[in-house]
Structure 1
């Protein structure tokens, strides 16, 4: 495997400086991957330029540096499949900057920018993909359609993680709770059917549930409400208030009886 040992020390020093600069201030639409142990292979992700068939795509490419770099140009390859006149089926890039127009003083930033510009303005005259070059010259609409198709299939940006997992979990929990409640109701109906008892109506179930809740909410040691016929939970008069009322009623009845006796005695005395 090629490493930094294949490059002269002065070249390694220059590359390290360039790569650091690219990492801190990347060119527009280009993100460079830095490997400190191997400067001979440089990876970059290129955003498809807006207004082109490559828009909304992210294309991975690499530059391979030879041992006598920068005297010879690097070789460029697209790793993401793309339909482009100047990019071969194996990903090799054909651009004059990497061939006859190469200059040892050109930096990596310039090379990457030229490759991105190639997506904006192809050169069908020097096509490595003859089909794409011919289609670009003769039927641009069809060329653009195929280029967009390749972009949509092969150059999709990585999908972001979904949000709302907590909401989804909560929804699933609520569904499970409803299913458990339904299962319990079904078991109750089955038990009642086996014992011959009538199945409770939904209203009766609701009333029972409400009463159970009221019993649970009642403080410990407190008196439960009584109805006129002694039923629990149907009257608003507490037993503590009902007892004095009954006592007063008994006292009134006794007073009336005594008064009647006195009146009878008075009538008897008058007759005498």
Structure 2
């Protein structure tokens, strides 16, 4: 089955002009499925980590948001133990004007600015609110343990 032109164009751009700190490579056998690596942003508890994610474009993309989840374990209030991500543009704020690149940049930004006020992992968010310094130390140690190459 042929892919829509839009997916082909977005894929070409991702490969030819990758966003800094992000790589997204489509699977040869399924061009709607991408292996993604996001480098932990500088000045964040995730700095130095390389986080593996999977991104899948549903049949109705771009009318529906891509499905994205972390495969690398991460200690973050907006990412749960299954790797699901609490991000408005992956849910109710999705717009067909957005692209794969925008989604990945937004996830990278979420790593720079965890939001414990809109959690997916309630225990992590609680830790972040009660003792941010300790939560950041836990996030750093998880990054070293699970996301170091």
Structure 1, residues 163-188: CA drift from partner, whole Å, max 9, x if none? xxxxxxxxxxxxxxxxxxxxxxxxxx
Larger Rg: 1
Structure 2 counterpart of 1:138, from 126, 130, 134: 130
Matches within 5 A, 1:162-181: none
Higher relative contact order (CA 8 A, sep 6+): 2
Partner of 1:27: 19
Structure 1, residues 122-142: CA drift from partner, whole Å, max 9, x if none? 121221111111111121111
8 Å CA contact 1:23–1:34 kept in 2: the answer is no
Partner of 2:75: 83
Moved over 6 A (4+): none
* Greater share of residues in helix: 1
* Greater share of residues in strand: 2
Q: Which runs of 5+ in 2 are unaligned?
A: none
Q: How far apart are residue 12 of structure 1 and its match?
A: 2.6
TM-score, normalising length: structure 1? 0.53
8 Å CA contact 1:54–1:148 kept in 2: the answer is yes
- Between Structure 1 and Structure 2, how many residues are aligned? 149
Partners of 1:141 and 1:63 lie apart in 2 by 31
Q: How far apart are residue 37 of structure 1 and its match?
A: 3.5
Q: Does 1:47 align with 2:39?
A: yes
Question: How large is the Cα RMSD of the aligned pairs?
Answer: 1.3
Structure 1 window deviating more from structure 2 (60-69 vs 87-96): it is 60-69
